[in-house]
A and B are shown apart, each in its own frame.
Chain A
Amino acid sequence: MSILLSDISKNFGNFSALDHVNLEIPEGELVALLGPSGCGKTTLLRIIAGLERADEGKVLLNGQDMTDEDVRNRGIGFVFQHYALFRHMTVFDNVAFGLRVKPHKDRPSEAIIRKNVHDLLNLVQLDWLHDRFPDQLSGGQRQRIALARALAVEPSVLLLDEPFGALDASVRKDLRLWLRHLHQDLNVTTIFVTHDQEEAMEVANQIVVFNKGRIEQKGTPSEIYDHPSNDFVSHFIGQTNVFHLEKGDSDWLKSAGIVLDEPRGITAHVRPHNIAVEKQTDKPMSPIFLKDWQHLGATIRLELSREGENGSAKTVFAEMPNEQFRQLELAKGDKVSLFIKHAHWFN
């Protein structure tokens, strides 16, 4: 089911949670609403679901105006941040709930319900837990049960509010991939809210970046990462070094080989992997030295500092593969020279 949001605004008292948001989501997409906390992304998700009413604007599901329609009749599945499992019901009864509350004429027979529920529990690989209560499950298991429960009513849109927020890191990694694969199998339009840019990049086909109730940018993960449309997006997605020309950071850029005769803006954002580092042996005059470095896994992060004069407190981060770092044979305190391979310019 396609989703069209036109001119959605929502205020809580004086606080503007959403400010004239327009968004179109085609059928079958897996979309991440990404933004810092308090940016309005969860509010928008709840407005799509019908759990919250917009002050202004329209919600169209599959071309039909659903703005004033109750959550019950929107055909959505909603997964809550803290799962909201019915704690007085077994896992089986939780998943069966949506089928059992259907009006008499639409309600499947108990045999069909049983089959559907077991199928769903198999889909989330937790059928062996069917007679447990939610309190007896781990966080990751609860999350998958919540998903199975939402899928039981065959929703045409699946909405997930910070689905992995309350899970520990390793479980989160597994579930991200699992959700992506599940979406590929079911192909149901899915929107999830997250504040974790890594999660958005890893799971979604499309990312919508939010800030202060407005959409900053919408695009595929590659578009957002490689061509951020403004400094907020660039800063929020991935690591970046920010250089302000007006604040004396131009020294950095000069020493890093960026020509400043024709700056294309007043701030330059440079990703750590777009900085090349070379060891200085013949020219010991370079003001930049290696202050510290950390092992991040596949890459090494270098903390680079500049000696003396203005802006000296600033640290620039560079990243390079392990192998390359080993070949450089750098030690802390060694002088280095920088080359910036690519920068994004913003005003």
Chain B
Amino acid sequence: MSQSNIMPGFRPTLGFTILYLSLVVLIPLSTLVFNSFQLTWDDYVAIISHKRVLASFRVSFTTALIAAAVASFFGVIVAWVLVRYSFVGKRFFHALIDLPFALPTAVAGIVLATIFQPSGFLGKLLIDNFGVQVAFKPLGIVVALIFISIPFVVRTIEPVLLEFDTSMEEAAASMGASRLQIFAKIIFPNIFPALLTGFALSFARGVGEYGSVIFIAGNIPYVSEIVPLLIVTKLEQYDMEGATAIALSMLVISFLLLFVINLLQLWVRKRSGQF
């Protein structure tokens, strides 16, 4: 940083950033790591390799991944409609998108559980017509996670679509590209890095989500019990070590997954000349 910058203040801002990250993120998380030192390695492995724990990890990460993928797909469509078209009630829909951000997640969970339970409005419809039960199954968790993570995708894609130079599409069309080709070769590559960010945010939120999930999941051990619930259960039983071990594993896996997504993003950007 020897070159002079128009905006001075590299040192104070970096200092602030480090202070902030330390106070808010690193120190709380490091206590988790330090707490886990009370465990021996064998204890740790024993807790983690318990079948119920492994099952909950599988449930948490698969539902979060599926939900993030579905939310990404629909999020792109929603963002596309909101950016590209003008229609009556557009502002209303705009406000609606952010509602899952603001709503207490427990409220969302209760509402979803009510309509998707076998006697509920949508639940009955799905069971009668397709034989699909949503509530109290892993599918219910996916539904709840999609609900809370869609705004992440929409709000990350939206600015990119707004900035997108539509003359690129016109240029592609003038060279004979079909609509599908224009989307696949021009639009999608340009929104893909942002889509990955949206996916990562959805996934991160989904893995950590508690409030909305526990009401609709049924919380059946080995089937629809999520990791955060297991941690809370352990804490309620004053099993500090167990809770810490599970929390630490979750932290490590989430961090690794997000790291991989970030690397992927870097690779995509590099490959497409956006640095």
Contacts and interface: CB of A to CB of B under 8 A. Distances in A.
Interface of A: 49, 51, 70-73, 76-78, 80, 82, 84-90, 97-98, 101-102, 133-136, 146, 149-150, 152-153
B231 to A, nearest CB: 42
15 contacts: A51-B170, A70-B173, A71-B170, A72-B174, A78-B174, A82-B165, A85-B168, A87-B273, A87-B274, A88-B190, A89-B273, A97-B172, A97-B185, A101-B176, A101-B177
Contacts of A85: 168, 171
A49 B173 CA distance: 10
Nearest to A132: B273
Contact of A84 (B168, B177, B274): B168
Given A101-B181, A136-B273, A149 B189 contact: no
Interface string B150-177: 0000000000000001011011111111
Given A71-B170, A78-B171, A80-B171, A88 B178 contact: no
Contact of B272 (A82, A88, A153): A88
A88 B273 contact: yes
A101 B189 contact: no
A149 B272 contact: no
Contacts of B190: 87-88
A153 to B, nearest CB: 5
B176 A102 contact: yes
B273 A135 contact: yes
A37 to B, nearest CB: 18
Given A82-B165, A86-B186, A88-B189, A97 B273 contact: no
B178 A82 contact: no
Which 8 residue pairs spanning A and B have beta carbons closest together? A133-B273, A98-B175, A88-B272, A84-B167, A101-B177, A78-B174, A84-B171, A88-B189
Contacts of B170: 51, 71, 78, 80, 84
Contacts of B186: 86
A71 B174 CA distance: 5
A153 B165 contact: no
B202 to A, nearest CB: 23
B166 to A, nearest CB: 9
Contacts, number: 79
Contact of B178 (A90, A101, A134): A101
B185 A72 contact: no
B173 A72 contact: yes
Looking at A51, A86, A89, the one whose CB has the most chain B CB atoms below 10 A away is A86
A141 B189 CA distance: 23
Contacts of A78: 170-171, 174
Contacts of B176: 72-73, 98, 101-102, 153
Contacts of B174: 49, 51, 71-72, 76-78, 150
Contacts of B168: 84-87
Given A78-B171, A84-B168, A136-B273, 7 more contacts: A72-B173, A77-B175, A84-B167, A88-B190, A101-B172, A135-B273, A153-B175
A149 B171 CA distance: 9
Contacts of B175: 77, 97-98, 101, 149-150, 152-153
Contacts of A98: 175-177
A327 to B, nearest CB: 53
A82 B174 CA distance: 15
B177 A72 contact: yes
B185 A71 contact: no
Interface string B172-212: 11111110010001100110000000000000000000000
A134 B274 CA distance: 10
Contacts of A146: 171
A137 to B, nearest CB: 11
Contact of A97 (B177, B189, B274): B177
A152 B100 CA distance: 49
Contacts of A133: 272-273
A80 B170 CA distance: 9
Given A84-B165, A88-B190, A88-B273, A71 B173 contact: yes
A82 B167 contact: yes
Contacts of A70: 173
A153 B175 CA distance: 7
A98 B178 CA distance: 11
